[in-house]
Chains A and B, each alone.
Chain A
Amino acid sequence: MRLRSRSGAEGGSRLFVAYAAASLVPVALLGAVLVNGYRDDAIRQAEEQGRSQAVVIAEMAVAPALEDADLTAGLTTAQRDRLQSATDFAIFHGSVVRMRLRSFTGQVVFSDDGSTVGGVPVADPAFTAAAVGSTDVAVVPDPERGPGEVIRVLEPVVPSASGRAIGVLELYLPYETIAAHLQRQMSVTYWRLGVGLVGLYLVLALISWSTTRSLRRYAARQEHEALHDALTGLPNRAAFRLRARTALETAPRRGAVVLVDLNHFKEVNDTLGHHAGDELLRVVADRLVGALRPEDTVTRLGGDEFGVILPGLGSEEVVTLLAGARARLTEEIVLDGIPLTIEASFGVALYPEHGAGVEELLQSADAAMYQGKRGTVNIVVYAGGGVAHSTQWLVVQAELRHALERDELVLHYQPKIRLADGEICGVEALVRWQHPVRGLLPPSEFLPAAEQSGLIEPLTAWVLNRALADQRDWLTAGRTWPVAVNVSARNLEVPGFAPFVAATVAGYGVPADMLMLEVTETALAGDAATATRTVIDLVGLGAGVAVDDFGVGYTSLSQLRNVPVSEIKIDQVFVRGITRNPQSEAIVRSVIELAHGLGCWVTAEGVETAEVRAWLEDAGCDAVQGTLLSAPLSWTDLIETTGRTGHELPAVPAGM
């Protein structure tokens, strides 16, 4: 954000500079026009002054001396004397710089210094104008006294009242004093003008500054709103991507991207209302920010999901830091007077190890979090590796979607053998994918990908439908095998799963007690409230629920007590090497005892040797499942191998 706002400020100041420059142009133009106008006025004023001075001189000194004069014939001595006495003082004191009396033909009849040369050429427009009665005034360079200027006036000489002109008077009047006066006047004007224009410019600049500032603020606010979550004030998902990208490109180029998801948030929202949920999110946001370092970034990605960027940390440091954050989060929160403890899951992806791009890191973190959500370990660092390989998952997910549409999946069934009589007491439906390119794929190739996406729901629905359809067929064929269908934790969390199962069972007209739903241990451990309710509802339908892969995940014993589980299936990890591993023996024996204590049926998975089978029989296990007895087969094959009537399986060669 800091980076952004600086660039915003730069944009703003650029705009301001542009405004300032643009307003400078008219101000300068105005200044130039005004100065020009004032200068013209000053010159005109000088000329006007010269003109009126010349009129006075002509009428008071020159004209009276020239009564009855005829300039073409020259002046009489009397006229000359009169003219001289009338103008001597003005010449002497410099009120007149130079004076010439000229006939219309241009002849100099009289001049102040007695010379008869010089003067304006007759062809000069100024002379011509004076010869036809108008007065010409101009400020011209002083032709005789070096630098400086004089006012030149050419006007007709009208020495009689009748208005008759007899010649042209050529007068040069001093300009220095007038010029100095004008200069003073002009400099005052310049100052005023300058101050005024600078003031005007400042006002314009101020206006543009304030305008650009509001624009800048508005833009910044817009940007903030675009990149921030309104509820918590944290950066939003878009901002998260930007910052993550920045973090990836900024030294030290290592750190972690963490996804944080609140457990039970939905329940808080549902039971206490959205207001409480919002409050909770705000508290969580504050606590997260408070628990992390200043250089860390906390964003809200949406819902109860937060994204955290922890730059510059290694795996262990990240976990330590997050442990602190988790401790802060789990502190009691009082919402609407109700004390709550909120738990959160942390999915950690380290960069650059777990991804080069933001998306990849997010997927890794998501995968890690998914693991964390199911287990009890709340801070899970992405482990990498095959199953969680996100990009491959994406491909698998996409293909699987098509597979469902094209019916590329098939169901194989593996029988469970009751140890008491060696008869088939049920079959487990195992999904296979007849991949057009990769051939027949085991569930481990695609189930995790499906689990991670919403695809697990249609997949489970497909399996359930197919299994029930097959069961209806084999029931018709005289085989009374219950069928077990694996159900994902996600299925249990989807509201309406139990009614869906009920409707499907009813649709195929098979008895509900012939259906067994196998649930992994971890499914019951996570957000167990919904799952537990679903299990209770399923049992209410008459279906049985089995805990699958027992022993590798985690199930709280209280869960086992609360959930009406009818069967526990011991994970093959314990079973496979049981005869050589005393620990496994102890565990299996205890589990059998525990299950029986809870009133559950116990099945051991992964039975591959007769030795193990014997041991299990000894230990009191109720049923076994494994390749020793039968590999998964299509149900028709299964019927054939079991013979026309036989419930007893034929001997199967070991290792198959």
Chain B
Amino acid sequence: MTAFRTALASAAVLLVAATTGCAGVKGEAGAGTAGDVAFDQGLHDALPQKVRDRGTIRLATDPSYPPMESYGTDGRSIIGFEPDLAAALGAVLGIKVEMVAADFDSSLDETAAGTYDGVLSAMTDTAEREKITDFVNYFAAGTSIVVQRGNAHGVTDLKDLCGRVVAVEKGTVQVDLLERSKRGCGTQPMTVRTYKTNSDALLQLRTGRAVAVLSDYPTAAHLTTDQRTRSHFQLASTVQYEPGLYGLAVARDDTALRDTLRDALDRLIRSGAYAELLERWGLSSGAVKASSVNAGGGED
């Protein structure tokens, strides 16, 4: 009996140790977003003079795309994988990287015009967009179809959307995708409605004014697993259409910034900090093996 109790006690101790051990590891990794990432003076010096003078890199983002980026519970701070990635890049470069809420649709033009230093908003790198800016590729994802839970209209593929209303965020690759698939509908034309944010599009779906929303797979998957939204939405299928690379958009003439960011990202990928961040947000399936520039457009 005594021996058994002792065994039980030691098992409990071991269990506690294991638990705290795990927590410890996790905590260190969390705090290590900046800590693990070593500041690189060379990269810092490679930043354009005006950025260094200003002390910040301002990146436009549309915070309606969890888990990539969204508003926190206070309704003001922006949280998600991309803000974390931005912070990690800032740590490597020794500069503050700021996420600024902006219109997704107009953000590329604004960047080209110099309003922002770049766009970090789950933006797919396409040949079309490369005409406006350059892209530092950091993630890979395709498009998914989100429908109301229960899928009353039996949508399983893009062609099922013919004769229906589809809501989508303005300026996304999904708009292009729909425009292309729309052509095959024939007598039953598909109505594509675009909205300023992805949330606005989802509101249309939730209230039945649209039968589907097209968005990148990570956001769609998050939508159907998050406990606040999973009772309303589901994925029409497991298929990801037209997989592509996300790119951090940088003005085409700002090659110094572009290359520095690419090197910093490369540093993060090699150090494992990048993988850790993806892991934390459940996005490991979209990891890229190395950083690249304008790789999405080139393939297209």
Contact = CB atoms under 8 A, between A and B. Distances in A.
Given A161-B200, A163-B199, A165-B71, 16 more contacts: A133-B73, A133-B76, A134-B73, A156-B75, A160-B199, A161-B199, A162-B63, A162-B70, A162-B71, A163-B63, A163-B64, A163-B70, A163-B71, A164-B63, A165-B74, A166-B75
B76 A162 contact: no
B72 interface: yes
A164 B71 contact: yes
Contacts of B202: 161
B168 interface: no
Contact of A133 (B75, B197, B198, B199): B75
B104 to A, nearest CB: 11
Interface string B167-208: 000000000000000000000000000000111101100000
Interface in A329-355: none
Contacts of A134: 73
Nearest to B206: A161
A614 interface: no
A160 B76 CA distance: 12
B211 interface: no
Contact of A164 (B101, B198, B203): B101
Contacts of B63: 162-164
Interface string B98-135: 00010000000000000000000000000000000000
A195 interface: no
A172 B38 CA distance: 52
Contact of A132 (B70, B74, B199): B74
24 contacts: A131-B74, A132-B74, A133-B72, A133-B74, A133-B76, A134-B73, A156-B74, A156-B75, A158-B75, A160-B199, A160-B200, A161-B197, A161-B203, A162-B63, A162-B70, A162-B71, A162-B197, A162-B198, A163-B75, A163-B199, A164-B63, A164-B75, A165-B71, A165-B76
Interface of A: 104, 131-134, 156, 158, 160-166
Q: Name, among A131, A158, A164, the residue most crowded by chain B CB atoms within 10 Å (CB to CB).
A: A164
Contacts of A161: 64, 197, 199-200, 202-203
Which 6 pairs between the two chains have the least Cβ-Cβ distance? A165-B75, A161-B199, A133-B74, A162-B64, A162-B199, A163-B71
A566 to B, nearest CB: 99
B200 A162 contact: yes
Contacts of A162: 63-64, 70-71, 197-200
A131 B71 CA distance: 14
Nearest to B70: A163
A640 B64 CA distance: 155
A131 B72 CA distance: 12
A158 B74 CA distance: 10
A155 to B, nearest CB: 10
Interface in B117-170: none
Nearest to B74: A133
Contacts of A163: 63-64, 70-71, 75, 199
Interface string B32-68: 0000000000000000000000000000000110000
A133 B70 CA distance: 14
Nearest to A133: B74
Nearest to A134: B73
Contacts of A133: 72-76
Contacts of B64: 161-163
A135 to B, nearest CB: 11
A169 B214 CA distance: 34
Contacts of A165: 71, 74-76
Interface in B243-294: none
Nearest to A132: B74
B216 to A, nearest CB: 16
A162 B200 CA distance: 7
Contacts of B203: 161
Nearest to B203: A161
B233 to A, nearest CB: 13
A447 B64 CA distance: 130
Contacts of A160: 197, 199-200
B92 to A, nearest CB: 29
Contacts of B197: 160-162
A164 B63 CA distance: 8
A132 to B, nearest CB: 4
A104 B72 CA distance: 16
A101 to B, nearest CB: 15
B100 to A, nearest CB: 13
A501 to B, nearest CB: 85
Contacts of B75: 133, 156, 158, 163-166
Contacts of B70: 162-163
A45 B234 CA distance: 36
Contacts of A104: 76
Nearest to B63: A162
